[in-house]
Amino acid sequence: MTTTLAGGLHKAQEAVRNASSGSKKAVDLERDISDIHTKLPLTSDHGVRIPNTDQWLRVIGEDKNHSIGPTLLEDQLAREKIHRFDHERIPERVVHARGTGAFGNFRLFQSCEDVTHAGILTDTSRNTPVFVRFSTVQGSRGSADTVRDVRGFAVKFYTDEGIWDLVGNNIPVFFIQDAIKFPDMVHSLKPEPHNEVPQAQTAHNNFWDFAFLHEEATHMFMWIMSDRAVPRSFRMMQGFGVNTFVLVNKQGKRHFVKFHWIPKLGVHSLVWDEALKLGGQDPDFHRKDLMEAIDNKAYPKWEFAIQLIPEEKEHDFEFDILDSTKIWPEDLVPLRVIGELELNRNVDEFFTETEQVAFCTSHVVPGIDFSDDPLLIGRNFSYFDTQISRLGINWEELPINRPVCPVLNHNRDGQMRHRITQGTVNYWPNRFDAAPPAGPNEGAFDTLQAKVAGVKKRAVGEKFREHISQAQLFWNSMSAHEKLHIIKAFSFELDHCDDPTVYQRLAGTRLPEIDLHLAQKVAEAVGAPIPTQPLKQNHGKRAPHLSQDEFATAKPTIESRKIAIIIGDGYDRVAFMGMKAAVLAAGAVPVIIGLKRSPIYAEGDARGVIADHQYDGQRSTMFDATFVPGGSHVKTLIKNGQIRHWIAESFGHLKAIGATGEAVQLVETALRDVEGLKVAGAHESQHVEWYGVVTAGQQKAESFSEGVKIVKDAK
């Protein structure tokens, strides 16, 4: 089937590395890469060859029993091995600890020289290497991938003018407006201090207490309760720079800017039940999905777009454009698509690359600058600081973090300094004019002169104090089933709060400010007094591209999706082969699920096929669709409760199910008890054409143009 994670990676990685050897970063990393797959002898860290790494030096009795005597501390080789092991762990990221990353390239399609002089945003001939790390926010490093959470979308561009880190999320707004609130926010959403429960989720008293007491969190928590917080794949989610940055052109004119990533595969989500189950069944679901797609050359791509507001229009909006709890609605500020990101190479080693990669919002390149967004300014302090505690002061010298352009300055020393700088001076000015500041036309990052006036105080502007309008905008823009999912998400989360103060005031006081129906449904579900009046008038406005339904690809695609094909002895080989070929031709991945992983024989066929997996090792949740060919194997399948559950569960998760011949009866039997089901149009066709993969975002599960056709209203 596919290149699996368990084996064969080494060769695949080598091939990809060779293929991408044009990338400046790939070339740069080469000098630090060594290969374990050699037959060279083992050595200590100081390079001395070691004859034995299995037995600690000890005294062995000379009698015939060879009795074990004292183990000797003098064994410096054993000591080195244990010392190294004892210090393997570094502090995990205080947030975004769980994540995975990949290399790729960024290409610019359209020069933005009208608004910036940044090389990466003006030179369309460049192919800029990038490293991208996706993450969840709340959980620790070993937590599950599919939890309800924001996803980090951090991009490191290795540009010719230095590193640009665009450290974003898959949700365009943030919980808080001021960085000084970040520790409170993170403490409230992390496990509670007295018992360190729960792991990687907001479904607890402290988070919802914080959320209520910070009205500014309202807009963001609406997004978190939506399908955006349970993506199907990192490859199928949007990315946002969130903060407002500034672009500066050659003439010194400034534009405020927001950055967007739009996935080519559309925006798709899991349904909550799937996400919950996958948390236990396959905690690595998202990282495996990304790695396997790249290994299979199904390289994920995102369009890169910007929203621009000229400096003089800063105050033309109802909201403050520097407030990161607000979006810039696309009907007011349209997107300009300017480039494309592709991820095409997995890491060679997780720790040295994905774990040690370190992002800093303060890392921008000339032509890109910061706005006065108060969250951004605080971030610019925090990221550098956190890397010092995680990796040490010389973290920017680590292979994954170092730029591909020359680095030369008078910064020196500190723990684990690698670079060796020749010369007799390490200060500026010096008598040799060594490493002088860049001159006026030497492409330096130069802060534009700006007049600043005001009163120094701890406060925010007037527009920063309105928090409900865009929460309403988001709610109004949702489709019916997205609204239902939000109601169910609130009901789940607040059900996990056992302090009535917490769930009652959230459901009874905050939600009625957004929408009465939402508030009533949630209050009823979680046992809060049911509100009868809206507490704020809903303005009724909507905005484009808030509903993820609007990102459906023009033509439904099953590219890179995993399709389970279930077979046992006696399966119909023609239907099986036909579907397998059709799935492959559509760029999807067929995965054969057998009743066993020993050879399975089709009717009248002695060759046998080896399944990729046996059914009990997998679950329907791990696949996007299921197909069962007809044949006498159905007699066995139909008696198997787990197989029937597989079909019913897939159906419950709005996935396409296909069957031919006798297998139609299996599907009907499995779905007999599912409420509201109609199995229509089933016929005996041996040849079923795949029609499309249905995701949670769709109203109806209409899956095949022929064969079994299942119609069901949205859950």
| Residues catalogued as catalytic | 96, 169
358 binds ligand HDD (CB under 6 A): yes
Identify the CA nearest to 492 among candidates 96, 139, 147: 147
Measured in whole angstroms, the distance separating CA 643 from the mean position of its chain's CA atoms is: 31
356 binds ligand HDD (CB under 6 A): no
220 binds ligand HDD (CB under 6 A): no
- Residue 683 beta carbon to ligand HDD: minimum distance, rounded to whole angstroms: 50
CA dihedral 409, 413, 417, 422 (to 10 degrees): 50
What's the CA gap between 345 and 19, in Å, rounded? 10
Binding footprint of ligand HDD, residue count (CB under 6 A): 26
User: Using CB under 6 A, which of 325, 386, 472, 660 touches ligand HDD?
Assistant: 386
In eight-state DSSP terms, residue 361 is T
99 binds ligand HDD (CB under 6 A): yes
Please provide the DSSP assignment of 25-54 as one string.
Answer: HHHHHHTT---S-S-PPPB-TTS-B-S-SS
304 binds ligand HDD (CB under 6 A): no
CA count, 13 A, side-chain hemisphere, 260: 23
- Residue 327 beta carbon to ligand HDD: minimum distance, rounded to whole angstroms: 12
What's the CA gap between 56 and 588, in Å, rounded? 51
- Residue 707 beta carbon to ligand HDD: minimum distance, rounded to whole angstroms: 43
378 binds ligand HDD (CB under 6 A): yes
User: Using CB under 6 A, which of 158, 182, 259, 395 touches ligand HDD?
Assistant: 182
94 binds ligand HDD (CB under 6 A): yes
CB-nearer residue toward ligand HDD: 75 or 178: 178
Q: Which of the stretches 65-73, 165-173, 573-581, 609-617 binds ligand HDD when contact is defined by CB under 6 A?
A: 165-173
User: Using CB under 6 A, which of 116, 159, 269, 324 touches ligand HDD?
Assistant: 324
93 binds ligand HDD (CB under 6 A): yes
CB-nearer residue toward ligand HDD: 169 or 560: 169
Instruction: With H, G, I as helix, E, B as strand and everything else as coil, classify residue 279.
Output: helix
168 binds ligand HDD (CB under 6 A): yes
What's the CA gap between 271 and 171, in Å, rounded? 18
242 binds ligand HDD (CB under 6 A): yes
383 binds ligand HDD (CB under 6 A): yes
The dihedrals phi and psi of 34, each to the nearest 5 degrees, come to -120, 165
Contact yes or no for 303/339 (Cβ under 8 A): yes
What's the CA gap between 344 and 417, in Å, rounded? 31
- Residue 467 beta carbon to ligand HDD: minimum distance, rounded to whole angstroms: 16
Measured in whole angstroms, the distance separating CA 320 from the mean position of its chain's CA atoms is: 28
- Residue 394 beta carbon to ligand HDD: minimum distance, rounded to whole angstroms: 16
CB-nearer residue toward ligand HDD: 149 or 572: 149
What's the CA gap between 473 and 466, in Å, rounded? 13
How do strand 336-346 and strand 301-310 relate by DSSP bridges?
A: antiparallel
Contact yes or no for 172/548 (Cβ under 8 A): no
- 96 Rama class: left (phi>0) / alpha (psi -120 to 50) / beta: left
What residue is closest to ligand HDD based on CB? 152
- Residue 242 beta carbon to ligand HDD: minimum distance, rounded to whole angstroms: 4
Instruction: Pinpoint the alpha helices (H) of 22-175.
Output: 24-30, 76-86
Identify the CA nearest to 223 among candidates 173, 165, 264: 173
260 binds ligand HDD (CB under 6 A): no
341 binds ligand HDD (CB under 6 A): no
167 binds ligand HDD (CB under 6 A): yes
Kindly report whether the peptide bond that precedes residue 70 is cis, defined as omega within 30 degrees of 0.
no
379 binds ligand HDD (CB under 6 A): yes
159 binds ligand HDD (CB under 6 A): no
Q: How far is CA 17 from CA 133, 346, 635, in A?
A: 19, 9, 49
CB-nearer residue toward ligand HDD: 182 or 464: 182
Contact yes or no for 348/126 (Cβ under 8 A): no
For residues 109 to 148, the per-residue mask of contacts with ligand HDD, x marking binding by CB under 6 A and - elsewhere, is ------------------------x-x-------------
**Helix and strand totals (H; E) in the chain:** 17, 19
> Quick one: tokens of 470?
């865009």
534 binds ligand HDD (CB under 6 A): no
- Residue 143 beta carbon to ligand HDD: minimum distance, rounded to whole angstroms: 14
383 in a labelled binding site: yes
- Residue 458 beta carbon to ligand HDD: minimum distance, rounded to whole angstroms: 16
199 binds ligand HDD (CB under 6 A): no
Binding site for ligand HDD (CB under 6 A): 93-96, 99, 133, 135, 152, 154, 167-169, 174, 179, 182, 242-243, 324, 358-359, 375, 378-379, 382-383, 386
Binding site residues for heme, as ranges? 383
